[in-house]
Amino acid sequence: MKGRVVGWLVLAARLVVGGVWIVAGALKVPDPGSSVQAVRAYRLLPEAVVPTVGQLLPVVEVVVGLALVVGLLTRTMAVESAVLFVAFIIGIASAWARGLTIDCGCFGGGGYDPDAAEKYPWEIARDVALLAGSLFVAAVGHRGRWALDHVLFRRTPLES
């Protein structure tokens, strides 16, 4: 019984975290300029890498999200998701600590936002919750339901 509950919880976490990544990335893919602007606004990366990060990040988000939703390379994608959330939490906390008033750019947009300081705690809390979901999937993802991993990487009786 406990294994079944864990399997459904992993599926739920995969769908929520993966769905957030898909939406976040899909909203940014059509407008790479805004994504580059959002990365630049944090003032954390050297200017030479900002355009590359800004253009690739939405694609990475969509790929990670799709992989989590379908359960493909689940643990690897959950770890990648966790790394991204840690980076975003650090970025938002850094912007807040430095007094920057920028839109997080999480779901498109970016740049100046006069209400940013009020939003930072909620954005960090959201990302911490999604980080927890990612870590949960990374820890027990092999037990999740409806994952392509089960079809593609079946264990033989000797490997069980």
Write the CB contacts of 98 (distance below 8 Å, at least 6 apart in sequence): 43
The amino acid occupying position 111 is G
DSSP 8-state assignment for residue 145 = S
Provide mean pLDDT across the span 102-128: 94
Provide mean pLDDT across the span 100-110: 93
Contact between residue 42 and residue 119 where contact means Cβ atoms under 8 Å apart: no
Write the CB contacts of 36 (distance below 8 Å, at least 6 apart in sequence): 50, 51, 54, 55
pLDDT at 159 over 60: no
Query: pTM of the prediction?
Result: 0.92
Query: How do the domains of the chain map onto residue ranges?
Result: 2-152
| DSSP letter for each residue of 104-135 | --BTB--EE-TTHHHHHHHHHHHHHHHHHHHH
pLDDT tens, position by position, 49-73: 999 999 999 999 999 999 999 999 9
Tell me the two tokens of residue 156: 């033989």
Provide mean pLDDT across the span 63-84: 97
pLDDT at 156 over 70: no
